[in-house]
Amino acid sequence: MAPKTQTKKDLARAYHFLLLLDGESLAAFTEIQLPEIEIELETVKEGGLNTYVHQLPGMRKASTMILSHGIAKKDIFDTWVNDYLVKGKFKRKAVTLMLVGLSNAEIHTYYIENAFPYKWSAAPLNSSSSTIAIQTLYLACGEVTKD
């Protein structure tokens, strides 16, 4: 766990997210859009009741996660993404996502069950520009828990 003395100033300087697959660190990202956890509402109209509509909880909506500004280890990461997106070898995996601070101190950990990549994109490559190509990975998520 992260030391309690770590400040927001420290986090702003050096935090990143590590994506672990099967316990192995595969990629680092600087920006993550965590999934929205939302329940569908089912509305039931009751005859003779005109002042409101009953709202009942339904199924959980599908959730996705977007990981941006990433650098990945080519071998295993590309294998998982390419197998899924290019070759059609569909395999859901348990993914661990760690927010890491200074000196690789773990701050938060998210566990995503039954995750699979559904989109990958990179910035356009331009030889006349000095900007870094940024990778973005889109994951469909099953159950999401936080440490």
Please tell me which residue, 80 or 131, carries the higher pLDDT value: 80
In 10 A of CB 12, how many CB atoms?
8
pLDDT band at 43 (very low <50, low <70, confident <90, very high): very high
* Predicted pLDDT of residue 7: 44
Position 12 pLDDT exceeds 70: no
As given in the structure block, the two tokens for residue 1 are 């766990």
As given in the structure block, the two tokens for residue 101 are 């601070």
pTM of the model: 0.70
Q: Which of 95, 132, 130, 93 has the alpha carbon at shortest distance from 111?
A: 95
* Predicted pLDDT of residue 29: 85
Please tell me which residue, 4 or 131, carries the higher pLDDT value: 131
Domain ranges of the chain: 12-146
- Percent with pLDDT over 70 in the chain: 82
**12-146 classified as CATH 3.40.140.10:** no
As given in the structure block, the two tokens for residue 84 are 């899924």
3-state SS, residue 126: coil
